[in-house]
Amino acid sequence: MLHRSRTVRLGLLAAVAAGIALVPMSPATAASPGYIRVGHLSPDTAAADITLSALAGGQVLYSLTGVGYGGVSKYMTLDPGTYALAMAPSEDGSNTPLVNAEVEVVAGGAETIAAIGPNASIRLTTISDDLSAPADDNARVRAVQASTTSDTVSVATADGTTLLDAAAFGEVGDYTDVTPGSTDLTLTGDDGDASASVDLEGGASQTVFVLDNADGKLTALAVIDSASVTETPVGGVATGGGALASSVQTGMQLAAVGTVVGVMLLGGVLALALRSRRLSPRRHRA
Amino acid sequence: MSRHPALSSPGRHRARRGPVGTAVRVLAHSPVLAAGVLVTVAVTAAAFDTTWQPVVGASALEFRLAALSAPAAPPAPAMVSSGVGAAAGLQDPLPLDSGAPAAGVRPTRLVIPAIDVDVDLVSLQRDTAGVLLPPADLDSAGWYTASAVPGAVGPAVLAGHVDDTETAGVFSRLHELQPGDAIAVALSDGSFREYRADRAIDVAKEDFPTEQVYGPTPNSQLRLITCNGPYDYGVMHYSNNLVVFAEPVD
């Protein structure tokens, strides 16, 4: 079996300085990657640029520009290790960081690093994300209290399942398996209820961030944490009839397969060293 | 999301609401705040020794001018900040742009230049026993309709024949794929989603790694499945499946 290749991204400063996308390069190693996504959830903070850099050497690995309020990135795939996350105003000429933090990436782990709170007291919070699939094609959902206008927030689905109960600012609710489909969440804050329609997908985990809108009312932003195949097939797939099978002894075929696997392993080392991945410097929100 | 140059559609443009627009929006909702801005602008204007003075009841255009004149329009009192990266006040969160295809969009075509694959995609389903049915046609590859649409979070599962009893099939050269090789899937909305081969496993069908292939992923991934040797002439089937895992090109 081949192992997943990890990435160590190299020498990107010139590209970053030129405002060009990032070019990850990678030798292959055996460990699983981890995942980090970042969000701008501070309602009175203007668009920001977010960079993720290697702690050692300071090489910028990912750069997101012009991330506005409500912007949550896709997951960025990273080798386990420690990284530096920095968020600065996108405004031209600004070089004062808004917030920054060290981020620990664990193999197989996933985290959301979100800038929350009013601009005057903006801070980064780290939320652990569960990438496992809900049972039986259910939908899995949780809510996060990121509203700055309500001291406490409660969230319930249309069928009465409570996702947050008088949660304080920054509180992260537990993942809860629910019936898939569209539902209207009731968001209860200090000033009464608001409603937010979300589509809860079967086989997927989602996080609902409770946020403020421009009028200071509660609103919700739902993002997908992970998704799997629904109606998971049983076993393998019958996709061959044998025309290409050699009638010579099985041992040679096994050797051939072994060669293929070996070549691909080697290829993983070589080809991935040349692999490039781009994160566009343009407005990137996912 | 990436778009194939040859099949690109016009980029989506998002109206960006700058500080000025936001300020005007907030002012429209908040007379008190508007007054505060006017006062501040008056002070600012005085500080810069300009003759322009905003007045109560100024038009929308003057509000706009006011916001332009004031380097940082003051937000509501509760939101007063040091001003680093501050917006003019509370904003509406931007609508989520996950990059995922719209509902109803389907993959239509698979292109793998390294192994000369360029085929239309059919739809694949499970049989009553829950086994994924391959394409009826040897030359077709198919997309499992209960897997992710390429571009959406989750594994998108494509399967094709390596051969039948007489000729080579669409995925006869899948084993030649090298990590890093480009794989593109065209969608019915005209966009292309691009992936790079990451790894492959050659596994006995009876030990098929269901969780690895069909289980949850935090991003958009692709699985290409075909048959692989050794061939069991007793049951007229290959014993193994070759599964190529591909990662998205961001």
Tell me, yes or no, if A123 comes closer than 8 A to chain B by beta carbon. no
Q: Give the C-alpha separation, B90 to B26, whole Å.
A: 8
Cis omega before residue B230 (within 30°)? yes
Select from B24, B91, B125, B217 the residue whose CB has the most chain A CBs within 10 Å, as the one to mutate to test that interface: B91
Q: Which residues pair with A27 in a beta bridge?
A: none
Distance from the B127 Cα atom to the nearest Cα atom in chain A, whole angstroms: 9
Secondary structure in 3-state letters for B144-194: ECCCCCECECEEEEEEECCECCCCECCCCCHHHCCCCCEEEEEECCCCEEE
Alpha helices in B31-138 (DSSP H): 31-47, 60-69
Question: Which residue in chain B has the smallest CA separation from A278?
Answer: B250
Are B29 and A215 within 8 A, CB to CB?
Answer: yes
Judgement on whether residues B142 and B198 belong to the same structural domain of the protein: yes
pLDDT tens, residue by residue, A54-95 = 988 889 999 999 999 999 999 999 999 999 999 999 987 777
- Does the pLDDT value for residue A280 go beyond 90? no
Tell me, yes or no, if B203 comes closer than 8 A to chain A by beta carbon. yes
Entry field: residues in chain A: 286
Q: Which of B97, B157, B199 sits opposite A285 (nearest CB)?
A: B97
Judgement on whether residues B59 and B158 belong to the same structural domain of the protein: no
The pLDDT value given to residue B236: 65
Question: Which residue in chain A has the smallest CA separation from B233?
Answer: A242
Distance from the A202 Cα atom to the nearest Cα atom in chain B, whole angstroms: 10
Inside any domain, residue B241: yes
Are B132 and A237 within 8 A, CB to CB?
Answer: yes
pLDDT tens, residue by residue, B77-124 = 343 445 789 999 999 999 888 889 999 999 999 999 999 999 999 999
Judgement on whether residues B74 and B32 belong to the same structural domain of the protein: yes
Q: CB count, 10 Å around CB of A93?
A: 5
Tell me, yes or no, if A224 comes closer than 8 A to chain B by beta carbon. yes
Q: Which residues pair with A179 in a beta bridge?
A: none
Tell me, yes or no, if B87 comes closer than 8 A to chain A by beta carbon. yes
* Reported pTM: 0.70
Q: Give the C-alpha separation, B174 to B167, whole Å.
A: 15
Q: Which of A71, A212, A279 sits opposite B250 (nearest CB)?
A: A279
The domain of B34 spans: 19-79
Tell me, yes or no, if A93 comes closer than 8 A to chain B by beta carbon. no
**Two domains, one topology: A1-129 and A133-229:** yes
Question: Which residue in chain A has the smallest CA separation from B218?
Answer: A226
Q: Give the mean pLDDT of chain B.
A: 73
A window 143-172, beta carbon within 8 A of B: 149
Q: Give the C-alpha separation, B214 to A231, whole Å.
A: 9
Q: Which of A41, A75, A234 sits opposite B131 (nearest CB)?
A: A234
- Does the pLDDT value for residue A243 go beyond 80? no
The pLDDT value given to residue A63: 93
Q: Give the C-alpha separation, A101 to B63, whole Å.
A: 38
Number of structural domains (chain B) is 2
The pLDDT value given to residue B11: 36
Distance from the A239 Cα atom to the nearest Cα atom in chain B, whole angstroms: 4
Among residues of chain A, what percentage have pLDDT more than 90?
62
- Does the pLDDT value for residue A230 go beyond 80? yes
Domain A1-129 falls under CATH 2.60.40.10:
yes
Tell me, yes or no, if A23 comes closer than 8 A to chain B by beta carbon. no
- Does the pLDDT value for residue A23 go beyond 50? no
Tell me, yes or no, if A286 comes closer than 8 A to chain B by beta carbon. yes
Distance from the A237 Cα atom to the nearest Cα atom in chain B, whole angstroms: 6
Inside any domain, residue B6: no
The pLDDT value given to residue A20: 26
Distances (CA, A) of A145 to A127, A152, A193: 12, 8, 14
Confidence of residue B19 (pLDDT cuts 50, 70, 90): very low
Inside any domain, residue B90: no
Inside any domain, residue B86: no
Inside any domain, residue B12: no
- Does the pLDDT value for residue B75 go beyond 70? no
Question: Which residue in chain B has the smallest CA separation from A211?
Answer: B93
The pLDDT value given to residue A43: 97
B window 41-60, beta carbon within 8 A of A: none
CATH number of the structural domain spanning residue B141 = 2.40.260.10
Judgement on whether residues B166 and B202 belong to the same structural domain of the protein: yes
Tell me, yes or no, if B84 comes closer than 8 A to chain A by beta carbon. yes
DSSP B73: -
Distances (CA, A) of A146 to A41, A97, A129, B15, B116: 7, 21, 16, 25, 50
Distance from the A267 Cα atom to the nearest Cα atom in chain B, whole angstroms: 6
Q: CB count, 10 Å around CB of B76?
A: 17
Confidence of residue B247 (pLDDT cuts 50, 70, 90): very high
Q: Which of B94, B172, B233 sits opposite A285 (nearest CB)?
A: B94
Count A/B contacts: CB-CB distance under 8 Å.
314
**Average pLDDT score over residue span A14-42:** 56
pLDDT tens, residue by residue, B118-157 = 999 999 999 999 999 988 888 889 999 999 999 999 999 9
Judgement on whether residues B74 and B112 belong to the same structural domain of the protein: no
pLDDT tens, residue by residue, A148-193 = 999 999 999 999 999 999 999 999 999 999 999 999 999 999 989 9
CATH fold for domain A133-229? Immunoglobulin-like (2.60.40)
Judgement on whether residues B138 and B241 belong to the same structural domain of the protein: yes
Contact A114, A86 (CB under 8 A): no
**Average pLDDT score over residue span B60-65:** 31
Judgement on whether residues B68 and B118 belong to the same structural domain of the protein: no
The pLDDT value given to residue A242: 63
- The domain ranges of chain A are 1-129, 133-229
- Does the pLDDT value for residue A235 go beyond 80? yes
Tell me, yes or no, if B151 comes closer than 8 A to chain A by beta carbon. no
Quick one: B113 exposed, middle or buried, by C-beta within 10 A (0-12, 13-18, 19+)? Answer: exposed
A window 238-267, beta carbon within 8 A of B: 238-247, 250, 253-254, 256-257, 260-261, 263-264, 267
Indicate the range of A178-187, A222-231, B3-12, B142-151 predicted with least confidence.
B3-12
Judgement on whether residues B143 and B201 belong to the same structural domain of the protein: yes
Are B229 and A89 within 8 A, CB to CB?
Answer: no
Q: Give the C-alpha separation, A257 to B228, whole Å.
A: 8
Judgement on whether residues B116 and B210 belong to the same structural domain of the protein: yes
Q: Which of A44, A96, A253 sits opposite B230 (nearest CB)?
A: A253
Q: Give the C-alpha separation, B178 to B200, whole Å.
A: 9
Confidence of residue B239 (pLDDT cuts 50, 70, 90): confident
Question: Which residue in chain B has the smallest CA separation from A280?
Answer: B250
Judgement on whether residues B44 and B113 belong to the same structural domain of the protein: no
Tell me, yes or no, if A181 comes closer than 8 A to chain B by beta carbon. no
pLDDT tens, residue by residue, B176-234 = 999 999 999 999 999 999 999 999 999 988 889 999 999 999 999 999 999 876 666 76
